[in-house]
Amino acid sequence: MCGITGIVSFNPAAKSGWIRAMTGALRHRGPDDEGYVAIDLAAPAPKATPLTGRDSAVAGLRRIEEFHEPAQIFLGHRRLAILDLSAAGHQPMRFKNLWIVFNGEIYNYLELRAELKGAGYEFSTATDTEVILAAYDRWGEDCVKRFNGDWAFALVDGARGTLFLSRDRYGVKPLYVHQGRGVFLFASEIKALLAVAEVPHALNQETAFDYCALSCRDHSGETLFAGIGQLQPGENRLVDLRGGAARKSAYYQLTANLAVGDYHHRKAISYACDIRELLIDAVRLRLRADVPVGTCLSGGLDSSTVVAIMSRLAGAEKKNLNCFTAAFPGESFDEGRYAQQVAQRAGVQSHVLYPDGRGYRENIARVLYHQDEPFGGASIYSEWAVMEEAAKHVKVILDGHGGDEVFAGYKDYRLAHLAGLWSERRWFSFAKELRQTAKMHRDRRALARELRGLPIYLLGPRAKRALYRLYYRRQIAAAARALGVGATGAALQRVGEKFAGNLNELLLHYMRTYTLPYLLRGEDRCCMAHSIEARIPFTDYRLVDYVFAIPAAYKIHRGWTKWLLRLAVSDLLPPEIVWRREKFGFATPRWATQEDEWRLWLAQHFPGGDGAAAAARRAARADAPAFSGAASRSP
């Protein structure tokens, strides 16, 4: 939805030039409006001065360029207008002694507003931003537990003298921070923090090691830039505006039912019916907008489900819905024909894109600039091309990300499920599921490729750690040698989580640490680079919590991944979509390798010749780890 920035300076006062540079770096996230507020806490009473910029939608306020007074706090905002397109939605927004900058959407804002009105609150806008302010005023920091949405916001509480930061449960919206000597900065993207010269421009070698040796990315509160971190999904942070102390707290922690359980088909149907209703409502809420809404359509089960539900909810207006597909004619993994089949059945307008190697080479520098960090594969360009076309037609786009992580869609999950049956000594169920898994493959070689990893999942923790070192020995040694850091136990443990011998435990790791954070970061940057907002129905917390409470036996059944999702949407989609055996993920032609991205990223950010930059360049030489080899586990 937007780009947010902020500065808290404890001594001396902050500089207005910093907030202008930071917010200017995020113009692509919000071309519709620009706003600032300067807050002086040193005065006898907190003094707030609203300010505008060249793109501001409001008039009559002082310009940020003209402001030279002392201030301890600056907030900046770039708006992508989605709800209440009038100037009433201008930010930073004030309520009593509260000031907020907000990126995202609170999808249940209408229900919350009705509840707050019943408690005596009055509203002057039709925005969800004003609802956040009133909700905080009534419920304090616990207000976020009531939100169903995707958000990153910063709220200055003048009465308490605090800055309250919050990020949504699964990290759909980003929020980066830097704390230096006497200053605390935050922003929606890393590039905004790097726009301040005082922020060090150095490589985080530990995180670089995780990326180079183990292909771990977006997996922690650290980034590839030393001194720049990020709020974790489901995290709040409270900063004392007078002393500078910061306190982290988790308001949400995803848990799972780790039992394998016994399968009963009647119960499976009951689960599927509930899931269907939750999915429909998740999509319904995410259609709330005062601008055109579209959707991505890959031809796979997840995005096809979103299109089918959107079409049903739209009724006669479905002919005005737009879906966007990346196709690769002639490639074995091309899903264009499936996408067209879904679009025709749903009765929506279809837009098909044909990304190619030439476009990748022409745009890779721009893509890397907007991503801020390497992304580990050329598939990101396909998403970029889709969003570039979507921006010509819509301002909001729904996506099927999260379906694999919630409903167990990757092949790895089958191995974890088999390991769970084995560990519980359910020999008959293990043999039956193994036999059904074999039927999923049309040739023995494909089956052998999938099952060759099964022994790893069956091992105990100590044996796994030893095997990790053996499996990744070349990558680990090369990265440690090039970057001058050693392999940490924590890094190896993170890789070990990828081989969890329990299906729901593995799902937790993929949701919290691996594929979902990486996918969400890529999508957010690709969308916002073209000034459109992404919404992810599969990350509705009601749906996620419900599915993660279900035993593993219902998630993979008779060799079928996503068993409950297939049951839930079996009448909404063609059988060829619901009961397809092959899974391509977000596959693309191999236009380039991960090493190519790494080298270009280093050239963009570390052009100097000493210190961390030199170590980083050494990591990109011929003796560097083969990022696209065994360490990169594609689903």
What pLDDT is stored for residue 26 in this prediction?
98
Which tokens hold the place of 218?
């977006």
Last residue of a domain, one of 558, 578, 598: 578
Q: Is residue 152 part of a domain?
A: yes
C-beta contacts of 355-364 below 8 A and 24+ residues apart? 355/326, 355/328, 355/381, 355/382, 355/385, 355/588, 356/589, 356/591, 357/589, 357/591, 359/385, 360/591, 360/592, 361/591, 361/592, 364/592, 364/596, 364/597, 364/600
- Asked if 245 and 287 sit in the same domain, the reply is no
- Asked if 349 and 241 sit in the same domain, the reply is no
- Asked if 313 and 235 sit in the same domain, the reply is no
Q: Is residue 471 part of a domain?
A: no
Angle, to 10 degrees, between the axis of helix 379-390 and the axis of helix 515-529?
40
- The per-residue pLDDT for range 200-229, each reduced to its tens digit, is 889 998 888 888 877 788 888 999 999 999
- Asked if 69 and 119 sit in the same domain, the reply is yes
Q: Is the Cβ–Cβ distance between 303 and 348 less than 8 Å?
A: no
Q: Is residue 545 part of a domain?
A: yes
Which tokens hold the place of 527?
């969308």
CATH, residue 286: 3.40.50.620
Q: E strands, 109-234, where?
A: 149-157, 162-167, 176-180, 183-187, 229-230
Residue 2 annotated as catalytic: yes
Q: Is residue 499 part of a domain?
A: no
- The per-residue pLDDT for range 341-359, each reduced to its tens digit, is 999 999 999 999 999 989 9
The total of structural domains in the chain comes to 2
Point out the catalytic residue in the list 2, 212, 216, 527. 2
- Asked if 323 and 358 sit in the same domain, the reply is yes
What pLDDT is stored for residue 166 in this prediction?
98
CA 284 – CA 223 distance, rounded (Å): 35
Q: Is residue 368 part of a domain?
A: yes
Annotate 416-450 with b (16+ C-beta within 10 A) or e (fewer): bbbbbbbeeebeebbeebbeebeebbeeeeebeeb
| Residues sharing a CB contact under 8 Å with residue 270, sequence separation 6 or more, in sequence order | none
Structural domain boundaries enclosing 130: 2-175+231-250
- Asked if 278 and 329 sit in the same domain, the reply is yes
- The per-residue pLDDT for range 153-184, each reduced to its tens digit, is 999 999 999 999 999 999 999 999 999 888 99
- Asked if 241 and 327 sit in the same domain, the reply is no
Q: Is the Cβ–Cβ distance between 36 and 53 less than 8 Å?
A: yes
What pLDDT is stored for residue 146 in this prediction?
98
What pLDDT is stored for residue 629 in this prediction?
29
At position 108, the amino acid (one-letter code) is: N
Last residue of a domain, one of 215, 250, 285: 250
Last residue of a domain, one of 217, 250, 283: 250
What pLDDT is stored for residue 466 in this prediction?
75
What pLDDT is stored for residue 631 in this prediction?
31
- Asked if 316 and 393 sit in the same domain, the reply is yes
CATH, residue 61: 3.60.20.10
Mapped onto helix, strand or coil, the DSSP state of residue 34 is: strand
- Asked if 399 and 527 sit in the same domain, the reply is yes
What pLDDT is stored for residue 445 in this prediction?
86
Residues (pLDDT < 70) of the chain are 12, 43-44, 465, 469, 471-474, 485-496, 583-588, 608-635
CA 88 to chain centre: 29
Ramachandran assignment for 531, one of left (phi > 0), alpha (psi -120 to 50 degrees), beta (any other):
left
- Asked if 76 and 36 sit in the same domain, the reply is yes
At position 96, the amino acid (one-letter code) is: K
- Asked if 66 and 147 sit in the same domain, the reply is yes
What pLDDT is stored for residue 630 in this prediction?
29
- Asked if 397 and 297 sit in the same domain, the reply is yes
